[in-house]
């Protein structure tokens, strides 16, 4: 029992002392939220463009949506 406890204690100390594991996990979380935000922004832009009357306004709104979705694709293609 004592050996198992020591091994478990050493393992948790090693996990705490390696800051790289926490940085990678938090970077993935931030990246996930950024992708989700860009997807929502693109969807809202398309929905707003449907209710606009002026042509240039629609064009700018759709351009922003394409840019938001393009950012998502860039993030995923860069990651691969």
Please report, for the chain, the start and end positions of each structural domain, with discontinuous segments joined by +: 2-79
Question: Which distant-in-sequence residues (6+ apart) come within 8 Å of 64 by Cβ?
Answer: 41, 42, 45
pLDDT, mean over the chain: 78
Q: Is 52 left (phi over 0), alpha (psi -120 to 50) or beta?
A: beta
pLDDT category of residue 8 using cuts at 50, 70 and 90: low
The string of DSSP codes covering 9-24 is HHHHHHHHH-HHHHHH
pLDDT at 14 exceeding the cut of 80? no
């Amino acid at each position: 029992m004592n050996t198992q406890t020591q091994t478990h204690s050493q393992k948790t100390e090693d996990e705490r002392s390696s800051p790289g594991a926490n940085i990678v996990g938090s970077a993935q979380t931030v990246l996930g939220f950024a992708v989700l935000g860009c997807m929502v922004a693109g969807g809202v832009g398309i929905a707003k463009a449907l209710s606009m009357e002026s042509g240039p306004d629609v064009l700018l709104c759709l351009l922003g949506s394409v840019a938001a979705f393009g950012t998502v694709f860039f993030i995923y293609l860069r990651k691969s």
